[in-house]
Amino acid sequence: MEQGNGTQILEFLLLGFSDEPEQQPLIFGLFLSMYLITVFGNLLIILAVSSDSHLRTPMYFFLSNLSLVDICFTSTTIPKMLVNIQTQSQVITYKGCITQIYFFILFGMLDDFLLTVMAYDRFVAICHPLHYTVIMNPRLCGLLLLVSWIMSALYSLLQSLMMLRLSFCTVLKIPHFFCELNQMIQLACSDTFLNNLVIYVAAVLLVGVPFAGILYSYSKIVSCIRGMSSAQGRFKAFSTCVSHLCIVFLFYCTSVGVYLSSAATQISHSGAVASVMYTVVTPMLNPFIYSLRNKDIKGALKRFCGMAARKGTTVLGLKNFLCLES
């Protein structure tokens, strides 16, 4: 690794969670299990929604996209950490670090925007049920998804380009399991005023405004639910929002809590442990929250698993028949 003013940085060291060799197999097994659960759980949601004609609605269209983003979000960080543990190496290249920052911000912002869009979808469904299909038409849904991708891609590109202007001349050890933007900025030995300014402005515009939109949507939803005369109608309307509210709570509380604590304390391994909540645990819990709280998803999963089992039985029977014929 080359260091010093005017030299090119070739690599960083990701210190991860622990330097103790005997703890590495436990960490590897734990994160591999959580990663596989996240991938297969969200993949099941995607397959269930895409295979069931009853779920081809805006709500489940955005849910399947959220599941896809969660898979990509976790895949940005965990596989590299697992490879490092398996190879007993802490190295990540400079280009790899910048790439990781780009995709981490991209999918993190997409999570933020999709949760906001899903809140708007619930607002229209509950407060304007008669006009729901007209307002939330396929064109608008596609446009909202496209705008979310474009804004996320532009912001992640901006942050990546802002990182390229920084120089690093100290010991480049990152007490984290991935290249986290705030900690990378703290490691820089050049002026980071513009980088911090962009982060604060983005926090207000790209995180604060969507979160305010979610709060506004649910304030209207609560007003509409309170105005319903039927207790059964109120319960049914509220039950469609519970899963989304749980995910919003997990995503915002964990991510905001981590960044507030990291801003108040010095760089340490505790930041890496806290980051696990929103980088790994939240994407892993999303499919469970939606499948356990949603009868439509549970029904679609049962039909999908039944269809897969029937196809497997048919294929096995065909193989046995061909073997007997031969």
* CB distance 283 to 74 below 8 Å: yes
Confidence of residue 15 (pLDDT cuts 50, 70, 90): confident
pLDDT at position 275, please? 80
Between the CA of residue 230 and those of 50, 121, 225, what are the distances in Å?
Answer: 33, 22, 10
**Residue 198 pLDDT > 80:** yes
How far is it, in rounded angstroms, from Cα 87 to Cα 81?
10
> Quick check: pTM over 0.85?
yes
* CB distance 214 to 115 below 8 Å: yes
Q: What is the pLDDT of residues 299-322, one digit of tens each?
A: 777 777 776 666 655 555 555 544
Q: What is the pLDDT of residues 57-114, one digit of tens each?
A: 999 999 999 999 999 999 999 999 999 989 888 889 999 999 999 999 999 999 999 9
β-strand partners of 260: none
pLDDT at position 1, please? 43
DSSP structure string for 170-206:
S--EESSSS--HHHHHHH--S--HHHHHHHHHHIIII
Strand segments, DSSP code E, in 153-303 are 173-174
CA neighbours within 13 Å on the CB side: how many for 227? 8
In 3D space, the residue among 251, 271, 258, 257 whose CA is nearest the CA of residue 73 turns out to be 251
| Per-residue DSSP letter, 268 | -
How far is it, in rounded angstroms, from Cα 38 to Cα 275?
16
Q: What is the pLDDT of residues 184-194, one digit of tens each?
A: 888 888 889 99
Count, residues in the chain: 326
Q: What is the pLDDT of residues 134-152, one digit of tens each?
A: 999 999 999 999 999 999 9
Domain boundaries 11-295, CATH class: mainly alpha
Q: Rg of the chain over CA atoms, in angstroms?
A: 23
Q: What is the pLDDT of residues 216-252, one digit of tens each?
A: 999 999 999 988 888 888 888 888 888 889 889 888 8
* C-alpha angle 238-242-243 in degrees, rounded to nearest 5: 145
Between the CA of residue 102 and those of 99, 114, 160, 163, 232, what are the distances in Å?
Answer: 5, 18, 6, 10, 46
Q: Which of 156-165, 170-179, 196-205 has the lowest mean pLDDT?
A: 170-179
Q: What is the pLDDT of residues 241-298, one digit of tens each?
A: 888 898 898 888 877 766 665 555 555 555 667 788 888 888 998 888 887 667 777 7
**51 residue type, one letter:** S
Contacts of residue 102, Cβ cutoff 8 Å, sequence gap at least 6: 156, 157, 159, 160
Report the Cα–Cα distance between both ends of the chain, in Å, rounded.
Answer: 62
Confidence of residue 4 (pLDDT cuts 50, 70, 90): very low
pLDDT at position 110, please? 96
Neighbours of 221 (CB within 10 A): 22
- Domains in the chain: boundaries: 11-295
Q: Hey, CA dihedral for 182, 75, 16, 84, is it positive or negative?
A: negative
